[in-house]
Each structure stands twice: as C-alpha cells, then as structure tokens.
C-alpha cells in the first residue's frame, strides 16, 4: 500500500460526507485519523477487516528476580486458521497503538467472553511461537541480561467506531 492508496481513502471519506445514506456515521475524527495514518496502518486495517478479530501475541521480557516486572518486546499477529503452525504476519505494535489511541480498534490480552480466541487452533498458534526463530532470537538476546521470555496472548478487533471508519473511508 502506498500514498496513492491513502489518497483513495481520503477521496472515499470525502464522497461519504455528501452521501445521505452514510454521512450520519462520519465522525469529525476520521480526517485526523487518515492524515496521521501510514500505509502500514492501512495495511493492518485491511487485515483486520478481512478477519474481524485477530489473535495477537506479545513477546515480553520478564525480569527473572521480579516476575511482575515485564517489558514488551514485540506485538505479533498470528493466524489461527493454520492448524499446528503459526503464521506470523509481523510486528504491528505501533499500528495497534496508533489505531487504539483513536478508538478504531480494541486490543487486549484478556479473552473474557471471546470464544474464538480460545479455540484449539488459536491456542496451538500461540504455543507454537516458542519454536520459531523470533522467539529463540528474543531468548538469546534477553536471557543473558536476566530476563525470561514469555508469550502474552491477546487479540485485536474493530470497534464500532472502527467499523464506521472502514465503511466510510476504506475503498472497496
């Protein structure tokens, strides 16, 4: 995705403001979100739109002598549709933070009431991260400094504001 595609987002948002069928859902926040959005942010939204809710894991470095103290290393997106394999889309930590700050998405490490993320496939995806080069690299980097690497399971999903944003700004 490039800046030309983001221009199409702006064009779609502008046309939505004059369309009586959808302009009621246009928020004054949407131009601000778009003006600050990077092509990677838009790519992440396309991914989230196609999946609605996606498993996210956070690799965290926990201080060995103080288990309550941890430092997030990376936010990775895993795809639970690949049985017994973890498909990692990449580190989308800054995109999660950016879109969460505007209320476009919700992200959490709590699974309360979200059964799709406690499925056997999702758990297998979360657990299989421990055999990847990403996890092994984090262990080799942080273990000598007195940290244990742990996997914090979470999710990212569109909020109702995010769904409205996609409806009025994302080109089809």
Position 82 scores a pLDDT of 40
Query: For 20-24, 67-71, 109-113, 147-151, which range has the lowest pLDDT when averaged over its residues?
Result: 109-113
Joined tokens for residue 132: 């990847």
Identify whether the C-beta of residue 104 lies closer than 8 Å to the C-beta of residue 33. yes
Position 163 scores a pLDDT of 94
pLDDT at 84 over 70: no
State the Cα–Cα distance between residues 115 and 118, nearest whole angstrom: 5
69: domain CATH number is: 3.30.110
What does residue 16 show for φ and ψ, rounded to 5 degrees?
-70, -30
Position 62 scores a pLDDT of 81
Identify whether the C-beta of residue 58 lies closer than 8 Å to the C-beta of residue 151. yes
| Higher pLDDT, residue 83 or 124 | 124
Residue among 55, 23, 52 at smallest CA distance from 119: 55
State the Cα–Cα distance between residues 114 and 111, nearest whole angstrom: 5
Residues above pLDDT 90, as percent of the chain: 24
State the Cα–Cα distance between residues 69 and 92, nearest whole angstrom: 23
Position 103 scores a pLDDT of 95
Owner of token pair 């909020």: 159
Residue range(s) defining the domain that contains residue 21: 3-169
Sign of torsion over alpha carbons 145, 146, 149, 150? negative
- Total structural domains within the chain: 1
Position 143 scores a pLDDT of 82
Query: HSE-up of 29 (CA within 13 Å, CB side)?
Result: 12
Position 83 scores a pLDDT of 40
The mean pLDDT of the chain is: 79
Q: What is the band of 123 on the pLDDT scale with cuts at 50, 70, 90?
A: confident
Alpha helices in the chain (DSSP H): 3-17, 29-36, 39-51, 93-101, 120-128, 133-142, 160-169
DSSP conformation letters of 103-139 = TSEEEES--TT-GGGGSHHHHHHHHHGGGSHHHHHHH
């Amino acid at each position: 995705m490039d800046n030309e595609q983001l221009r199409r987002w702006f064009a779609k948002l502008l046309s939505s403001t004059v369309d009586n069928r959808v302009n009621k859902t246009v928020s004054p926040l949407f131009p601000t979100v778009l003006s600050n959005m990077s092509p990677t942010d838009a790519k992440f939204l396309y991914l989230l739109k196609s999946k609605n809710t996606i498993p996210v894991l956070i690799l965290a470095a926990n201080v060995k002598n103080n288990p309550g103290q941890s430092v997030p290393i990376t936010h990775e997106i895993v795809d639970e549709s690949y049985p017994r394999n973890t498909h990692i889309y990449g580190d989308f930590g800054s995109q999660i933070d950016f879109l969460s700050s505007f209320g476009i998405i919700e992200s959490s490490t709590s699974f309360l009431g979200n059964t799709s993320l406690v499925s056997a496939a999702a758990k297998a995806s979360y657990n299989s991260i421990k055999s990847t080069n990403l996890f092994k690299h984090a262990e080799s980097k942080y273990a000598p400094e007195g940290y244990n690497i742990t996997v914090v399971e979470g999710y990212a999903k569109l909020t109702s504001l995010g769904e409205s944003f996609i409806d009025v700004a994302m080109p089809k």
